[in-house]
């Protein structure tokens, strides 16, 4: 058998690489160049736009900074006015240019007007609108509402108030009342009228207690919440069946604290103010002044403290007693002590007021006739010699009470004026009526407190 041979037909596959011609190379380079040019131009367009937006944002931010600089400038002027460094604020619409290292940044224009919040005893401040104008003409405006506040603008208690210890049933607080803690009014029918009411923490309400009245609601500044006696939260603007009547509600409260009333305060009065020094317990009775039980001739303490021919007690400047002060008898026939003039009775011990203690005439109260009693310990307004049916026009006492301890109102006692203390304590049917503007007329030598600025609202507005 013959070997068979298979024959395979094979084909040679030849790849031929074409060499580019000069013309095709030019076209390819041109296409690539156009793509790169398009990409670069697009990128430059976006970059230019971003730079433009960045510059615009920078100008807007600069305008806002200028507007806020105007607010800061106005705050500084208000502080200077409060500290008597200037007599008037700049006129509304004042304009100030602002420069930076590279030149003028622009200017701000400040408009301001008086502003108040509250009812009978409104808190006052300013509405400020500051417009910042950047050199390119871009404007931004900021509006701020601020209140200027002093501790003597309020009936003030540093401590929380509990119904068991402080605010008793049938108590009436009429005027701006600030509690730097919690307000617990779950017993009796304590009433808070005329407002505003300011409570740093929570309010717990129960019994027949009321805040405001139907038809005469008050403003409420509250750092916490309102709860009923069962712990259920109450909406201040929709309280349901509770006796709560609120006209304006602010869920914030200012940081105001009791001035330090101690021996350093006494030393400061001695060093910086005209003062009479009494080195023992002082008694003021019906036409008589005694120190440690010994009568003092009127020529000794006059004109700081003496009785005139009409049996009116005259007070002037500061009388500092290193001991306690008692005004009026604890037994015997009731009498009233009428005073005139403006001055401070300051004691390192307690001050007990047992007689009716009021100005001889309310015509000049508190502008010219105003007694301030200041104690490093406690002030007690007692009811032994209370007038019949005390009321606003016939109170037990018409004066300013300032205490590093407590101010205590005995049963049925009515105070007209003001009270600033570590703790306000009241008995049944006691009442405190704040005297409008009394803080502006206090004698020199009361514990010092600088006004504060409280920002009520801050917002950017359309220019």
Q: What is the pLDDT of residues 82-112, one digit of tens each?
A: 888 999 999 999 999 988 666 668 999 999 9
> CB neighbours (10 Å) of residue 69?
20
Last residue of one domain, picked from the residues 230, 252, 274: 252
Residues 362 and 423 in one domain: yes
Find the mean pLDDT for residues 7-35: 58
- The verdict on 176 and 230 lying in the same domain is yes
Tens digits of per-residue pLDDT, 402-435?
A: 999 999 999 989 999 999 999 999 988 899 999 9
Of 357, 375, 327, 364, which is closest to residue 342 (Cα–Cα)? 364
For residue 7, pLDDT beyond 50: no
Same domain, 400 and 289: yes
Same domain for 423 and 321: yes
CA atoms within 13 A on the CB side of 215: 0
CA 358 to chain centroid, in Å, comes to 30
Residue 248: domain span: 155-252
What's the number of domains the chain is made of?
Answer: 3
Residue 346 scores a pLDDT above 80:
yes
Query: What is the predicted pLDDT for the residue at 385?
Result: 62
pLDDT at 359 over 50: yes
Same domain? 86 vs 124: yes
| Least reliable range by pLDDT among 49-53, 251-255, 321-325, 459-463 | 49-53
Same domain for 310 and 342? yes
Q: How far apart are CA 240 and CA 202, in angstroms?
A: 18
120 & 206 share domain: no
Beta bridge partners of 205: 185, 228
Q: Is there a domain that residue 362 lies in?
A: yes
Question: Which of 36-45, 216-225, 437-446 is predicted least confidently?
Answer: 36-45
Q: How far apart are CA 341 and CA 224, in angstroms?
A: 42
Averaged confidence pLDDT in the chain: 87
Question: Which one, of 154, 240, 157, 225, lies nearest residue 195 by Cα?
Answer: 154
178 and 266 housed in the same domain:
no
Q: How far is CA 321 from CA 73, 301, 346, 375, 404, in A?
A: 44, 12, 6, 10, 15
Q: What predicted TM-score, i.e. pTM, was given to this entire model?
A: 0.84
231 CB-near residues (< 8 Å, 6+ apart): none
The Cα–Cα gap between 195 and 208 comes to 18
Using CA atoms, how far apart are residues 350 and 379, in angstroms rounded to an integer? 6
Preceding omega of 298 cis (within 30 degrees of 0) = no
Among 17-26, 102-111, 128-137, 371-380, whose mean pLDDT is lowest?
A: 17-26
- 412 and 432 housed in the same domain: yes
Domain boundary among 96, 123, 149: 149
Is the domain of 344 the same as that of 432? yes
pLDDT at 60 exceeding the cut of 90: no
Last residue of a domain, one of 222, 252, 282: 252
Q: What are phi and psi of 438, to 5 degrees?
A: -60, -30
pLDDT for 234: 95
Looking at the structure, tell me whether residues 81 and 96 fall in a common domain: yes
452, pLDDT greater than 70: yes
């Amino acid at each position: 058998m013959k070997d068979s041979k298979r024959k395979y037909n094979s084909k040679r596959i030849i790849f031929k690489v074409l060499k580019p011609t000069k013309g095709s190379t030019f076209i390819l380079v041109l296409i690539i160049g156009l793509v790169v040019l398009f990409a670069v131009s697009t990128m430059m367009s976006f970059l230019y736009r971003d730079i433009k937006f960045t510059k615009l944002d920078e100008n807007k931010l600069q305008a806002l900074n200028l507007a806020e600089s105007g607010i800061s400038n106005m705050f500084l002027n208000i502080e200077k006015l409060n500290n008597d460094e200037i007599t008037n604020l700049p006129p509304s619409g004042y304009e100030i240019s602002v420069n930076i290292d590279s030149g003028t940044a622009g200017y701000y224009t400040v408009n301001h007007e008086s502003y108040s919040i509250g009812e009978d005893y409104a808190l006052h401040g300013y509405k400020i609108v500051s417009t910042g104008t950047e050199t390119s003409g871009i404007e931004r405006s900021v509006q701020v509402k601020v209140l200027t506040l002093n501790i003597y603008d309020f009936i003030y208690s540093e401590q929380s108030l509990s119904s068991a210890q402080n605010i008793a049933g049938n108590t009436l607080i009429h005027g701006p009342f600030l509690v730097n803690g919690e307000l617990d009014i779950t017993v009796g029918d304590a009433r808070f009228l005329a407002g505003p009411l300011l409570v740093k923490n929570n309010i717990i309400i129960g019994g027949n207690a009321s805040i405001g009245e139907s038809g005469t609601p008050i403003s409420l500044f509250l750092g916490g919440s309102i709860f009923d006696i069962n712990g259920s939260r109450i909406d201040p603007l929709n309280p349901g069946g509770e006796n709560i009547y609120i006209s304006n509600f602010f869920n914030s409260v200012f940081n105001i604290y009791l001035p330090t009333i101690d021996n350093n305060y006494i030393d400061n009065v001695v060093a910086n103010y005209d003062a009479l020094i009494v080195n023992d317990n002082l008694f003021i009775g019906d036409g008589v002044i005694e120190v440690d039980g010994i009568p003092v001739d009127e020529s000794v303490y006059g004109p700081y403290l003496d009785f005139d021919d009409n049996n009116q007690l005259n007070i002037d400047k500061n009388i500092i007693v290193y001991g306690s002060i008692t005004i009026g008898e604890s037994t015997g026939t009731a009498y009233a002590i009428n005073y005139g003039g403006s001055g401070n009775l300051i004691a390192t011990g307690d001050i007990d007021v047992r007689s009716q203690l009021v100005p001889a005439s309310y015509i000049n109260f508190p502008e010219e006739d105003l007694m301030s009693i200041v104690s490093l310990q406690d002030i007690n307004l007692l009811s032994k010699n209370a007038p019949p049916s005390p009321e606003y026009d016939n109170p037990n006492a018409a004066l300013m009470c300032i205490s590093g301890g407590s101010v205590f109102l005995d049963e049925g006692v009515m105070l007209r004026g003001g009270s600033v203390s570590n703790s306000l304590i009241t008995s049944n049917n006691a009442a405190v009526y704040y005297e409008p503007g009394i803080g502006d007329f206090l004698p020199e030598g009361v514990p010092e407190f600088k006004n504060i600025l409280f920002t009520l609202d801050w917002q950017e507005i359309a220019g």
